Amino acid sequence: MKSKKARTTLILALAVLCLARCSPAAEKRTEWMHQARWGVFVHYLGSTGMSASEWNRLIDKFDVEGLADQLQSVGAGYFVITIGQNSGHYLSPNRTYDGYVGIKPSKCSKRDLVLDLANALERRHIPLMVYLPAGAPDRDDVAVKKLEWQSGQRYANIAFQRMWENVIAEWSARWGTKIRGWWFDGCYWPNIMYRSPERPNFKSFADAARKGNPESAVAFNPGVFIPIMSMSEQEDYTAGETDEPWRVVCRKQFVDGRQFHILSYLGRSWSGGEPRFADAQVVKWSTAIVQHNGVVTWDVPTSRTGQIPESFVRQLKVIGDAVNHVTR
């Protein structure tokens, strides 16, 4: 996850956010999440300096059937995977992105791993969601320049936002209803970048994500904050990033009119290390949220072939057995 910068500005932005009643549209888009109860999240990322051919070799070896079997075995209600992040490598082709950045050979994979994974999960009745940063890949200098991205609270990034929405819209249109939701990271400067009455804004951002599926659930992540809160009336569920899940309190299904949801990690860090919690702890926190009609997502590591380590599969199975038997 990205660092917690611009905290003061973000607190001010959230302070002026008007609380909304439960949105009928948000409730409709997230009812499946509410029924699913919990999910698994994986960061699958390229590294800075990795060549396009190296990236494509990794993507080609990703075992979607093996991962889908693991998720089915633990009783996961849904799965979330990164499309890409800071290195500029993405696990799905995108002509719009390539046209903007002009990098050859493309750092977008030739294989559409998202689509292949969606198909494998669909056969097991497990919905797929995707993760994408709200900014340019900041370790790719070419992409940052071509996409006209400037990081910081002084920049509205209007040109960037228009391009980024077009990139998102291409992916969304191709995947259609196979993608059930989006989790956007790094929405650190909402008043500057997204709260304009004119496009680009939160509305156009959400519209791009829903291009192929109007019922996609969307969340915008402001960073790590307790208590859990909603960023915008344009989102459907709370991003809910937290390093300290034991501090989270869920009292009801909707917060600021949006489905209550948290995202945290089971390892020593995001997508790394061995399990840091005892089974009893994660079961306690997970069931407490689900009992109050909230939703919880747990991040775990994965191998380069897409397989979750056995120590995490075991703990996810314990979580699934407990959460899926909670009486609401």
Token pair of 210 as six digits: 């829903």
Summary mean pLDDT of the chain: 94
Between strands 38-42 and 79-82, the pairing is parallel
Q: Would you give the DSSP letter of residue 83?
A: S
Summarised one tens digit per residue, pLDDT across range 259-279 is 999 999 999 999 999 999 999
In a domain, 19, yes or no: no
- Is it the case that residue 10 has pLDDT exceeding 60? no
Tell me the pLDDT band of 22, cut-offs 50, 70 and 90.
confident
73 assigned to some structural domain:
yes
Residue 20 placed within a domain = no
For the record, the structure tokens of 136 come out as 């340019």
CATH code for the domain of 102: 3.20.20.80
pLDDT digits (tens, 9 = 90+) for 111-140: 999 999 999 999 999 999 999 999 999 999
Q: Which two tokens stand for residue 39?
A: 């999910």
Instruction: Give the pLDDT confidence of 231-258 residue by residue, as tens digits.
Output: 999 999 999 999 999 999 999 999 999 9
How many residues in the chain?
A: 328
pLDDT band at 19 (very low <50, low <70, confident <90, very high): very low
Indicate the pTM of the whole model.
Answer: 0.93
**Residue 1: per-residue pLDDT:** 58
The answer to the question of residue 114 being in a domain is: yes
Alpha helices in the chain (DSSP H): 7-15, 24-36, 52-60, 64-74, 95-101, 113-122, 141-146, 158-175, 190-193, 202-209, 279-291, 310-323
* Percent of the chain clearing pLDDT 70 (strictly above): 94
Asked whether residue 2 is assigned to any structural domain, the reply reads no
Q: Rounded CA gap, 96 and 234, in Å? A: 24
CA dist 248 and 239 (Å) reads: 13
Q: Is residue 328 part of a domain?
A: no
Query: What band does 176 get if pLDDT is binned at 50, 70 and 90?
Result: very high
Does residue 21 form part of some domain?
A: no
Q: Residue 21's pLDDT band (boundaries 50, 70, 90)?
A: low
Number of domains in the chain: 1
pLDDT attached to residue 16: 40
Residue 177 lies in domain: 7-14+26-323
Residues 6+ positions from 138 with CB-CB distance below 8 Å = 86, 144, 149, 151
Average pLDDT over residues 156-175: 98
pLDDT tops 50 at residue 15:
no
1 belongs to a structural domain: no
